[in-house]
Chain A
Amino acid sequence: MENTQREPDFRILIRRLTAFALRLFAEHGLAGAGAVLPGLGVSAEDLAGKVLVEYCEGRIKHHSSKGSLITLLCTAIRNDFLDAIDRAPHKRERVPDTRADDGDEDSKERDLNEYSNPCEREPFVVLDEKTYQDYVLKSLEDEPELKEVCEAVFFLDAEKPSDIAEALGIPISEVHNRRKRLRRRLIEYRLVRLS
């Protein structure tokens, strides 16, 4: 059966895709419009642009029966981002090792995951779940309302806005409002901050 659907407004689409790509970057400690993946030089805009081209050329196909276009394209951006992280030459790097006690071993190779304090790392690491939670909660000390939402997600396993609303005893519209504030805080690089 022919799948007829409305063509998108590309001016709006590209803004929403780029905003999503910026969110991914910010979540991994890469802030601002000019941030690039170390070693690859790929920016949030590059990722959004690549996916847009693939969609325009028909390499990514959208069927409305399988969800919205924006969700499909943002998933593609996220997959590209995660693949890029795997390719990025960041996992092992030469850094001064303060634990070195003899010889000229002031530049030992250390795996980034060996650092006991994640803030010692370069601002681009693959976080584990616990570290991610710690960062988020610590950075929200001054925002109890937003912290509540995060605690509901992390510790009460609240999945949907209705779950969060029920756990906190607030209306769903308030959950959406707080999420919006969280997104803004993230993009302003005030949430998952590694250094």
Chain B
Amino acid sequence: MEKKPNSREVKNRITKLSDRLFGDPEEVDPTEADELLAAAGMDTSELENRMYSRLHQEAQKYWMKQEPLPPLLKKALADLRPATAPARNESELAQQAKSSVERLCEAAKLLPALLQGQTPTFATAYRRKGELTDTDKELIEQTKIELQKKLRKMGDKNDV
């Protein structure tokens, strides 16, 4: 008579089936991992922040005992350190500045999409109010045309 498999054996069999179906964990590259997390409704930057807190809590045990941090824990804390945390040195400050500029550039790329095909209207503002000369008006008109061209180009790129 065939022996009924125990719970552990059943789990092992399902584990095997699972790996054959969904592949080895190595198959999931970082991009796909991000997509999967998003599909499950998880925000990756919030996940990183929570993990940082978890590791920070572990690190406190070492600090309390005045023991050095294990190298991997130190590296993990450095990697996951939130961008909003105050910079501790020049390289962190530079990194934070770079991230801020990158975020601004990303936001600027969204501008054409926000316009949704509408022609933007431009307004002028000056530090010193006074009569505009014809040269000023021509310069403003030129700038307006250039900006409109740029926005159209960005919009075309986004459509591709």
A pairs with B: yes
Tell me whether B26 and A68 are in contact (CB under 8 A). Answer: yes
The B interface is mostly helix, strand or loop, or mixed, namely helix
Chain B residue, CB-CB nearest to A164: B20
Tell me whether B24 and A71 are in contact (CB under 8 A). Answer: yes
Mask: chain A, 167-189; 1 = CB below 8 Å from B; 0 = not: 00000000010011011101110
Chain A residue, CB-CB nearest to B57: A53
Residues of B within 8 A of A126 (CB): 7, 10-11
Q: How many A residues are at the interface, by size bracket?
A: 35 or more
A10-B75, A33-B40, A153-B17 as given contacts; A16 in contact with B55, CB under 8 Å: no
Query: Which chain A residues (14-58) contact chain B, with CB distance < 8 Å?
Result: 14-16, 18-20, 22-23, 26-27, 31-34, 45, 49, 52-53, 55-58
Tell me whether A74 and B25 are in contact (CB under 8 A). Answer: yes
Cβ-based interface call for A100 (8 A): no
Tell me whether A184 and B36 are in contact (CB under 8 A). Answer: yes
| Of A104-112, A116-124, A128-136, the one touching chain B | A128-136
Tell me whether B39 and A153 are in contact (CB under 8 A). Answer: no
The A interface is mostly helix, strand or loop, or mixed, namely helix
The number of residue pairs between A and B whose CB atoms lie closer than 8 Å in the complex comes to 141
Tell me whether A53 and B54 are in contact (CB under 8 A). Answer: yes
| Of B42-50, B99-107, B108-116, B141-149, the one touching chain A | B42-50
Tell me whether B58 and A15 are in contact (CB under 8 A). Answer: no
Cβ-based interface call for A114 (8 A): no
Tell me whether A154 and B17 are in contact (CB under 8 A). Answer: yes
A58 to B14, CA, bound (A): 30
Tell me whether A184 and B39 are in contact (CB under 8 A). Answer: yes
Q: Among B17, B37, B79, point to the contact of A19 (Cβ < 8 A).
A: B37
- Between A and B, 27 residue pairs with Cβ closer than 8 Å are A7-B72, A10-B76, A14-B48, A15-B34, A16-B33, A18-B42, A20-B28, A22-B40, A22-B42, A23-B36, A26-B40, A33-B37, A33-B40, A49-B50, A49-B51, A53-B54, A57-B58, A82-B15, A126-B7, A127-B14, A128-B10, A129-B10, A132-B17, A153-B21, A176-B27, A179-B22, A179-B23
For the complex of A and B, list the 4 residue pairs with the smallest distance between their C-beta atoms, beginning with the closest: A74-B25, A10-B79, A33-B42, A56-B73
